[in-house]
Amino acid sequence: MALIVQKFGGTSVANPDRIKNVAARVKKYRDQGDQVVVVVSAMSGVTDGLIKMAKEIMPLPNDREMDMLLATGEQQTIALTSIALHALGLPATSLTGAQAGIVTDGVHTKAKIKNISPKHVHELLDGGNVVIVAGFQGQTLEGQITTLGRGGSDLTAIALAAALKADLCQIYTDVDGVYTADPRIVKSAKKLPEISYDEMLELASLGAKVMQSRSVEFAKKFGVVFEVRSSLNDNLGTIVKEETLSMEGVVIRGVSLDKNQAKVTLVAVPDKPGVAARVFKAIADANLNVDMIVQNISHNAGMPATDLSFTVDKPDLLKAKLVIEGLKGEIGYKEVLADEKIGKLSIVGVGMRSHPGVAAKMFETLALEQVNIDMISTSEIKISVIIDLEKGEQAMRALHEAFLG
Ligand code: ASP
Ligand code: MG
């Protein structure tokens, strides 16, 4: 008998038939004698629809109220999933994040899990129930409902698997696993049997959209091995785990394109100590995550000034621009530009550490495609470039061809 955490994303619970499908899968594991904890997302499109309605009323709605609103999406799905299990004759109980003991900090819309007390979940499991937990949500110690950031149901599943010391954690989605590139864009993309946490983390945070990156960080930190697989068939998925020696033999594991970034540029910022600190302190105080930062050398010896660009998630662009505009009097830049039409294209692989010439090959490939590089950033196992969004998919296919055939 194993304790299994199974997470089903929005497309896997998109309608009553899909939910019945989930219930049938859960039943298979139950019939083998396993204990099952199911984590579900909102039905696909529901969270987006709720956000859209709120924004129709006001462009920047209050974060606490957004959590109150968005948490309802998952609450629908847990009840429906529980009902689908009852229909198959299985005892099942649905729990909100709070009822499952998920305690978070108070940063609304991006809360972090502080701890999980899964006592109630254990009791229900021991009583023979399938337990269905609402993904993406938790509660502060003061009883405020919070959400964990978009895609946060993955984090709920991984964190629950860690807290429950589950034997197995399966992330069910609408793709067969993690691919060398998005197969909808790159026809020759291949499914990976396994991938390291670090590579997965880069791919997730680079917009490969397989999983929420915070959930992969969490899995790495707590050593939760998990499988990404499809809820629509019985194919084996991709195992995500600690790096092994054989993984280094492959130079590039995957190529990804993030279309969800936007760029903010401060034009002609005075080049003197403390300016960057002031800018990014203000951005951090607004709880905005910055990804890439590029600052140029300054010209004009008398009054040195430079351009400073950084990227944020697209939905945060308006907030970021407002924060920067608020600093205009204090730091005295010339103007602020916001650009949504960018894409972040990246190649990832732990093998990069031991194989030289990877960057040169990437830039050559882009040059041949007439793709202009706007910003560059690198880590030990990744190279990312910001390019024109319009050329994103074409450039992605070219890189995949060059590195992965
Ligand atoms: N429903 C939430 C979202 O769409 C959480 C999730 O799907 O994981 O972001
Ligand atoms: Mg999702």
- Judge whether residue 300 has pLDDT over 80: no
71 lines ligand 1 (CB under 6 A): no
- Average pLDDT over the chain, rounded to an integer: 94
Ligand 1: centre distance to CA 102 (Å): 16
Pick the more confident residue, 137 or 355: 137
Q: Closest ligand 1 atom to the C-alpha of 156? A: 8
Q: With beta carbons less than 8 A apart as the criterion, state whether 313 and 261 touch.
A: yes
pLDDT digits (tens, 9 = 90+) for 234-253: 999 999 999 988 888 888 99
**Closest Cα to atom 8, ligand 1: which residue?**
151
The Cα diameter of the chain in Å comes to 80
Ligand 1: centre distance to CA 153 (Å): 6
The ligand that comes nearest to the alpha carbon of residue 39 is 1
Percent residues over pLDDT 90 in the chain: 88
Tell me the C-alpha distance between 169 and 228, whole Å: 9
238 lines ligand 1 (CB under 6 A): no
> Would you state the pLDDT for residue 207?
63
DSSP letters along 9-65, please? -GGGGSSHHHHHHHHHHHHHHHHTT-EEEEEE-PPTTHHHHHHHHHHHH-SS--HHH
Q: Which amino acid is at 98?
A: A
Percent residues over pLDDT 70 in the chain: 99
135 lines ligand 1 (CB under 6 A): yes
**Closest Cα to atom 5, ligand 1: which residue?**
151
Ligand 1: centre distance to CA 212 (Å): 9
- Tell me the average pLDDT across 42-58: 97
**Closest Cα to atom 9, ligand 1: which residue?**
150
Residue with tokens 């890439």: 292
> Would you state the pLDDT for residue 59?
93
Ligand 2: centre distance to CA 244 (Å): 29
Ligand 1 probe mutation, 52, 70, 154, most atoms within 8 A of CB: 70
Q: With beta carbons less than 8 A apart as the criterion, state whether 20 and 80 touch.
A: no
- Tell me the average pLDDT across 21-35: 97
Ligand 1 probe mutation, 12, 39, 41, 50, most atoms within 8 A of CB: 41
pLDDT digits (tens, 9 = 90+) for 95-134: 999 999 999 999 999 999 999 999 999 999 999 999 999 9
Helices 392-404 and 358-368, axial angle in degrees (round to 10): 130
153 lines ligand 1 (CB under 6 A): yes
| Range from 20-34, 198-212, 229-243 carrying the lowest mean pLDDT | 198-212
DSSP letters along 198-228, please? HHHHHHHHTT--SS-HHHHHHHHHHT--EEE
Tell me the C-alpha distance between 257 and 206, whole Å: 7
pLDDT digits (tens, 9 = 90+) for 149-162: 999 999 999 999 99
- Judge whether residue 194 has pLDDT over 70: yes
Ligand 1 probe mutation, 47, 67, 102, most atoms within 8 A of CB: 47
237 lines ligand 1 (CB under 6 A): no
Q: Closest ligand 1 atom to the C-alpha of 149? A: 9
The ligand that comes nearest to the alpha carbon of residue 155 is 1
Ligand 2: centre distance to CA 9 (Å): 5
The ligand that comes nearest to the alpha carbon of residue 149 is 1
Ligand 2: centre distance to CA 288 (Å): 21
pLDDT digits (tens, 9 = 90+) for 327-375: 999 999 999 999 999 999 999 999 998 899 999 999 999 999 999 999 9
Pick the more confident residue, 249 or 61: 61
- Judge whether residue 208 has pLDDT over 70: no
Phi/psi at 271 (5° precision): -90, 85
Ligand 2: centre distance to CA 7 (Å): 10
Tell me the C-alpha distance between 5 and 138, whole Å: 17
Ligand 1: centre distance to CA 70 (Å): 9
Ligand 1: centre distance to CA 73 (Å): 9
Q: Closest ligand 1 atom to the C-alpha of 153? A: 8
What is this structure's pTM? Answer: 0.82
Closest CA to 346 of 311, 392, 303, 308: 392
